[in-house]
Amino acid sequence: MVGEKIRDLRKKLGLTQEQLAGLELTKSYVSQVELGRIRPSRNALKVMAQRLGKPLGYFLDNDDDLRTIEVLLKAARALWASHRLDEALVGLDEGRLLAERMGRDDILATIAVEMGRLEMTRHRIPEAIQHLTRALDTPGIQEQPELVIDAASVLGQAYADAGVYHQAVVRFQQSVEMARMESVSDDLAASALCRYGDFWASLGAWTSAAALYQESRQRQPDSHSPRSLAIAVRLVSTWAQTPRESEAHRLADDTAARLDAVTPDRLHRRLEVDLARGLVLLGREAEAFDRIARNLTEFLKDPSQSEELEQAVAIALQSVQSAHRRDWAEELWNRIAGWDNPIKGRVALWMACHAPAHQEAEEWLEQARKWLPADPDTRLVEAVLHRATADRGILPQVADTRVSTLCTLHFVS
pLDDT score of 63: 67
Distance CA 231, CA 255 (A): 10
Count of CB atoms within 10 A of residue 215's CB?
19
pLDDT score of 408: 38
Distance CA 406, CA 410 (A): 13
State the Cα angle at 115 between 127 and 225, rounded to 5°: 120
Domain architecture of the chain: domains with CATH: 2-59 (1.10.260.40), 68-184 (1.25.40.10), 342-413 (no CATH)
Distance CA 271, CA 268 (A): 5
Distance CA 77, CA 323 (A): 44
Count of CB atoms within 10 A of residue 149's CB?
23
Distance CA 112, CA 118 (A): 10
CA distance to 116, 172, 173, 175, 226, per residue, from 168 (Å): 15, 6, 8, 11, 27
Contact residues for 35 (Cβ-Cβ < 8 A; gap 6+): 3
Q: What are phi and psi of 398, to 5 degrees?
A: -110, 110
Distance CA 62, CA 107 (A): 14
pLDDT score of 88: 92
Distance CA 120, CA 89 (A): 12
pLDDT score of 233: 95
Strand partners, 398: 407
DSSP calls for 335-379: HTTT---THHHHHHHHHHHT-SSHHHHHHHHHHHHHH-TT-HHHH
pLDDT score of 357: 81
pLDDT < 50 regions, the chain: 391-413
CB-count burial class (<10 Å; 0-12, 13-18, 19+) for 217: buried
Distance CA 152, CA 139 (A): 15
Contact residues for 293 (Cβ-Cβ < 8 A; gap 6+): 316, 331, 332, 335
Which SS3 state, helix, strand or coil, does residue 137 take? coil
Radius of gyration of the chain (CA): 29
Asked if residue 157 lies in contact with residue 113, where contact means CB atoms within 8 angstroms, the answer is no
Direct distance between the N- and C-terminal alpha carbons of the chain, in angstroms, rounded to an integer:
88
pLDDT score of 200: 97
CA distance to 9, 160, 188, per residue, from 171 (Å): 28, 10, 16
Say if strands 404-408 and 397-400 run parallel, antiparallel, or are unpaired: antiparallel
pLDDT score of 217: 92
Distance CA 172, CA 350 (A): 39
pLDDT score of 61: 61
Asked if residue 49 lies in contact with residue 56, where contact means CB atoms within 8 angstroms, the answer is yes
